[in-house]
Amino acid sequence: MKILAFVDLHGDTSFLKKIVKRAQKDDIDLVVCAGDFSVFETGAGYVLKQLNSIGKPVLLIPGNHEVPETTKMAEKEFENIIDLHEKSWQKDNYLFLGYGTGGFAKTDPRFRKVAREWRRKLKDEKIIMVLHGPPHGTKLDEVMGEQVGNKDFTMGIKRLIPKLVICGHIHENAGKIDFIGKTQVINPGYEGMVIEI
């Protein structure tokens, strides 16, 4: 499976055009957006319309620039948009889990509750987790020598052991890859990244 993943687009139409064009190629199976596709909701409708035009599943979570209602409504309005916030979605033997919004909080009690629910329902699927903010203690959450990621995300990853985590939020770390145990953690950035699993 090939995923085109991106995050922190913030309504940039030139990069959006490139993402749509790349996603429409035959080798891409689905698109994952880890949030912040708008600038505090400005331009959200246009971005969503363009992503829907790809004609393939687009898994979407809200970032700290969107509210959860935006992705929820997008799923109702557009046939190819899948709202993944606090939900799961399955393709083949891969289970996608999504959790969006947030900012620089180092803990998230709501995420802990959602992650516990996911653990209870898990079977034998391989997990791909989509978060907006980065987990704490990786190359993806470093800003000026300080680690600003979420500790609950890190704990959830250690317990759920996903194969892959796609996240963003820290623009300076676009394109960086790290590991938490056996889990690969990637910030695909606003230019996007093709990930083969």
Residue 159's CATH number: 3.60.21.10
Q: Residue 107 in contact with residue 95, Cβ under 8 Å?
A: no
What pTM was estimated for this model as a whole? 0.98
Q: Can you spell out the DSSP letters for 6-30?
A: E---TT-HHHHHHHHHHHTSTT--E
What is the per-residue pLDDT for 102?
86
What is the per-residue pLDDT for 104?
85
Please, which residues bridge with residue 109 across strands?
none
Q: What percent of the chain lies above the pLDDT cut of 70?
A: 100
SS3 category, 155: helix
Q: Residue 97 in contact with residue 64, Cβ under 8 Å?
A: no
List Cβ<8 Å contacts ≥24 apart for 53-57.
Answer: 53/20, 54/20, 54/23, 54/24, 54/80, 55/24, 55/80, 56/23, 56/24, 56/28, 56/29, 56/30, 56/31, 56/80, 57/30, 57/31, 57/82, 57/91
| pLDDT tens-digit series, residues 127-176 | 999 999 999 999 999 999 999 999 999 999 999 999 999 999 999 999 99
Name the domain count of the chain: 1
Question: How many CB atoms neighbour CB 105 within 10 A?
Answer: 16
Query: Which domain covers residue 128, as residue numbers?
Result: 2-196
What is the per-residue pLDDT for 76?
98
pLDDT by position in tens, the chain (length 197): 999 999 999 999 999 999 999 999 999 999 999 999 999 999 999 999 999 999 999 999 999 999 999 999 999 999 999 999 999 999 999 999 999 998 789 999 999 999 999 999 998 899 999 999 999 999 999 999 999 999 999 999 999 999 999 999 999 999 999 999 999 999 999 999 999 99
Residue type, 24: Q
Cα separation, 139 vs 173, in Å, equals 8
Q: What percent of the chain lies above the pLDDT cut of 90?
A: 97
Q: Which two tokens stand for residue 1?
A: 């499976």
